[in-house]
Amino acid sequence: MGQEDEIRLIAYAIWEKEGCMDGHDCEHWFKAEAIWGQNRKEKAAAKNTTMGPQISQKTAKGTVVKKKSHK
Protein backbone atom coordinates (compact mmCIF):
# COMPACT_ATOMS: atom_id res chain seq x y z
CA MET A 1 0.00 0.00 0.00
CA GLY A 2 1.38 3.39 -0.95
CA GLN A 3 1.54 6.67 0.93
CA GLU A 4 -1.59 8.12 -0.65
CA ASP A 5 -3.63 4.99 0.13
CA GLU A 6 -2.46 5.03 3.75
CA ILE A 7 -3.36 8.71 4.10
CA ARG A 8 -6.75 8.05 2.51
CA LEU A 9 -7.50 5.35 5.09
CA ILE A 10 -6.48 7.63 7.95
CA ALA A 11 -8.63 10.46 6.54
CA TYR A 12 -11.58 8.08 6.24
CA ALA A 13 -11.15 7.00 9.86
CA ILE A 14 -11.10 10.66 10.93
CA TRP A 15 -14.26 11.32 8.90
CA GLU A 16 -16.00 8.38 10.59
CA LYS A 17 -14.79 9.41 14.05
CA GLU A 18 -16.14 12.93 13.53
CA GLY A 19 -19.61 11.69 12.63
CA CYS A 20 -19.38 11.24 8.83
CA MET A 21 -20.11 14.92 8.20
CA ASP A 22 -19.52 16.10 4.66
CA GLY A 23 -17.65 19.27 3.77
CA HIS A 24 -14.51 18.69 5.83
CA ASP A 25 -12.59 16.51 3.37
CA CYS A 26 -9.61 18.85 3.05
CA GLU A 27 -9.36 19.25 6.81
CA HIS A 28 -9.48 15.47 7.25
CA TRP A 29 -6.87 14.98 4.53
CA PHE A 30 -4.44 17.47 6.10
CA LYS A 31 -4.89 15.89 9.53
CA ALA A 32 -4.30 12.47 7.99
CA GLU A 33 -1.10 13.67 6.29
CA ALA A 34 0.17 14.98 9.61
CA ILE A 35 -0.67 11.71 11.37
CA TRP A 36 0.96 9.69 8.57
CA GLY A 37 4.12 11.80 8.80
CA GLN A 38 4.29 11.46 12.57
CA ASN A 39 3.79 7.68 12.33
CA ARG A 40 6.60 7.54 9.77
CA LYS A 41 8.96 9.45 12.10
CA GLU A 42 8.08 7.21 15.04
CA LYS A 43 8.68 4.05 13.00
CA ALA A 44 12.05 5.38 11.81
CA ALA A 45 13.05 6.29 15.36
CA ALA A 46 12.01 2.86 16.63
CA LYS A 47 13.97 1.18 13.86
CA ASN A 48 17.09 3.19 14.74
CA THR A 49 16.90 2.24 18.41
CA THR A 50 16.38 -1.46 17.72
CA MET A 51 19.36 -1.80 15.40
CA GLY A 52 21.61 -2.47 18.37
CA PRO A 53 25.27 -1.62 18.81
CA GLN A 54 27.49 -1.30 15.80
CA ILE A 55 31.19 -1.95 15.36
CA SER A 56 33.36 0.28 13.21
CA GLN A 57 36.48 -1.16 11.67
CA LYS A 58 39.06 0.76 9.67
CA THR A 59 40.44 -1.01 6.65
CA ALA A 60 42.79 -0.08 3.84
CA LYS A 61 39.74 0.77 1.71
CA GLY A 62 37.95 2.88 4.35
CA THR A 63 35.73 2.48 7.39
CA VAL A 64 33.37 -0.47 7.53
CA VAL A 65 30.43 -0.45 9.95
CA LYS A 66 29.06 -3.81 10.99
CA LYS A 67 26.09 -4.58 13.15
CA LYS A 68 27.08 -6.45 16.29
CA SER A 69 25.36 -9.83 16.45
CA HIS A 70 23.32 -10.79 19.51
CA LYS A 71 23.96 -14.54 19.56
Confidence of residue 65 (pLDDT cuts 50, 70, 90): low
User: 49 pLDDT exceeds 90?
Assistant: no
Report domain extents, the chain: 3-67
Q: Is 54 helix (H, G, I), strand (E, B) or coil?
A: strand
pLDDT of 5-39, one tens digit each? 999 999 999 999 999 999 999 999 999 999 999 99
Q: What is the pTM (predicted TM-score) of this model?
A: 0.64
Asked if 25 contacts 12 with a C-beta cutoff of 8 angstroms, the reply is no
